[in-house]
A and B are shown apart, each in its own frame.
Chain A
Amino acid sequence: MSLIELQDITKFYEMGEQTVRALDGISIRIEKNDYVAFIGSSGSGKSTMLNILGCLDRPTSGRYHLNEQNVENLTPNELAAIRNQEIGFIFQSFNLLPRATALHNVMQPLIYRNVRWGKRKAMAMEALRRVNLADRVHHLPNQLSGGQRQRVAIARALVTNPSILLADEPTGNLDSRTTAEIMQLFDELHREGHTLILVTHEDEIARHCKRIVEMKDGRVHRDINTVTADAQVSN
């Protein structure tokens, strides 16, 4: 079984009297150690896709298996546990806790896993070392540059050793030099065996990935394997 299996996933929003079909029947499989980019214009449903993959949102209908677990009927608390254990989020706007140091930000998800202070600190230090921020651990987010903040966020995502890393426009707020740094880090993580799923609208970023899924109007428009250059065009 694949790491992620989506079957006929739909997500409808009621906007007044109109029904917006953000996702309109998505079926996709993502394997372990995949490196996938979801691309598409805004409104194509790629962010909704990521929220559902990250168990932040529930689909209106369809099946979602994550790591052989059916996610559909879980309670909010069970979903929180899945987010904590299986998923590492990286956001465009970093989403660090503003009053916590880099170290504390990285330690935060471990609290929800009942990891003791000393162990937590050691794990967070290890994760920060992994993203080359060992010398910035006691800085607050607003004392760090954008690239450093994103690396803290990546450390926070890595520290729980999740099955998948989800990144929503991870370089959207960064300059080109820092973007290159962060993408290099993603490439390394991919090589180390992590499963990465990115949402982006920059071809430059998407080109780093092994697989590019182009979305259009809530459907998968093209699914390209960049390694074999084998494209499957639906519709």
Chain B
Amino acid sequence: MFFVIIESTRSAMASIFAHGFRSFLTTLGIVIGVASVIAVISLTQGLRASVGQQFSALGSNSLTISAYTPLQDQMQGRRARLTPDDLEMIERRVDGVASITPLLYATRSSQIRYGSQTTFSQIMGTGYAYREVGQFYVQLGRFLANSDNDTRRRVAVIGDAVRRNLNLPENPVNEYVELGGEWFRIVGLLEPKGDIMGFNQDDIVLVPFATMQSIQGNQAQTDIQIQLRVSDDADVDAVVRRVEAVLRSTRGIEQGQRDDFQIQTPEQLMATVDNVIGMVTIVLGGIVSISLLVGGIGIMNIMLVSVTERTREIGICKAIGAKRHHILLQFLIEAVVLSLLGGMIGVALGYGLGSLVAANIPGFPPAAVPLWAVMLALGFSGFVGVLFGILPAGKAANLDPIDALRYE
């Protein structure tokens, strides 16, 4: 059997290269199909890899807790809030928390002014612990201190993008900027961190939490986010469960009622991103696999023509002793080799295409083709070859030797 396969492959290759141009056109459908699959996968996988890297920079053991109002309640005008009291309860009653910090986003105005320059930025009130939690480190000056919070000092730590947008000097420390009608002294400049999914992490202004609260006005309405970092020796899941239990009891949520808050881990975020990318991959993959199918039909078409064209040759081979499986395998292997060659060219072309696209979109991560995608593409094109080769090969193998010899 092995011998037959080798010999059939040999003669299949000979006949493919004998009709080089026709073979190329035949397999073009597969080439284009596989190339588009690989291009799409290389782009989405590149994206996924880079997003994964960015999330791991966030720290895999930091949790974000925020208020969550189900849509039904929102329509009834109710709104869940997370307050500094909740933070205090977690701080007091949950073990395994390395650092915890409130986050209060500016709700009124995100406008900052320096001299005649005005810009908008993400302004957050937070505390000393955010340095650890959010992995923000200063390159110049200092981070927010606990005393800044206690005395509601009007100080700010800014990201590098803000410095550039405001035309602040290289060392902006001790310069004053105007935020919501108050003057803030810059005490620190953060190290550049880059983007996470289009959100520039350097376009950020951090002020003390209490200061933020005071300039927001109505303190009873405060809705904060809590960020905490789980200590290295503690189990993230256990901490999540504990936080859940504490918040449910302090907020008086009865059994059977849903949480009015949500706890997000970077893994969850990553899983969400994975989900989205997976969906995109499946949808696009589905579309391009149709083109593979069309490519397969193209191969079948040419193989059927080729069988008719070579009827006499088949008759000769049968007359000199070819058995059914000799003929069957020769044509089947020819179809499979054709589509596998197409698959290989397609993989190379698709990777090239993906790299080209990735290189030409600014900020897009480099294309990456995982091995499974290559194996899948080759496996699928081989399968297409078998699927669409079996009919012409069967037709060839079933020819009657005398009829085939008489064929003109």
Contacts and interface: CB of A to CB of B under 8 A. Distances in A.
B316 A84 contact: no
B402 A84 contact: no
Contact of B313 (A81, A83, A97, A156): A97
A129 interface: no
A186 interface: no
Contact of A56 (B4, B323, B405): B405
B9 to A, nearest CB: 12
Contacts of B325: 77
Given A95-B312, A99-B15, A112 B326 contact: yes
A80 B316 contact: no
B321 A76 contact: no
Interface in A158-188: 160
A56 B402 contact: yes
A187 B7 CA distance: 35
A54 B321 contact: no
A116 B317 CA distance: 18
A85 interface: yes
B320 interface: yes
A155 to B, nearest CB: 12
A89 B324 contact: no
B3 A89 contact: no
B326 A95 contact: no
Contact of B321 (A57, A95, A100, A113): A113
A89 B15 CA distance: 24
Given A56-B401, A56-B402, A97-B313, A109 B320 contact: yes
A80 B322 contact: yes
Interface string A62-89: 0000000000000011001101110001
A28 to B, nearest CB: 21
B361 interface: no
B18 interface: yes
A77 B324 contact: yes
Contacts of A98: 313
Contacts of B287: none
A76 B3 contact: no
Interface in B393-408: 401-402, 405
B319 interface: yes
A114 to B, nearest CB: 5
A98 B4 CA distance: 22
A54 B319 contact: yes
Interface residues of A, number: 28
B401 A108 contact: no
A225 interface: no
Nearest to B318: A80
Contacts of A95: 312, 315-316, 319, 405
B25 interface: no
B275 to A, nearest CB: 54
A76 B402 contact: no
B18 A99 contact: yes
A51 interface: yes
B284 interface: no
Contacts of A112: 320-323, 326
B14 interface: yes
Nearest to A99: B18
Nearest to A84: B321
Given A57-B402, A95-B405, A108 B320 contact: yes
A215 B9 CA distance: 45
B320 A84 contact: yes
**Which among B15, B321, B401, B402 has the highest number of chain A CB atoms within 10 Å?**
B321
14 contacts: A54-B319, A56-B401, A77-B324, A80-B324, A81-B321, A83-B320, A95-B312, A97-B313, A99-B14, A100-B14, A111-B7, A113-B321, A114-B4, A156-B320
Interface of B: 3-4, 7, 14-15, 18, 312-313, 315-326, 401-402, 405
Interface of A: 51, 54, 56-57, 76-77, 80-81, 83-85, 89, 91, 95-100, 108-109, 111-114, 116, 156, 160
Given A97-B317, A156-B320, 18 more contacts: A54-B319, A56-B401, A56-B402, A77-B324, A80-B318, A80-B321, A80-B324, A81-B321, A84-B320, A89-B319, A89-B320, A95-B315, A95-B316, A95-B319, A98-B313, A109-B321, A111-B326, A114-B4
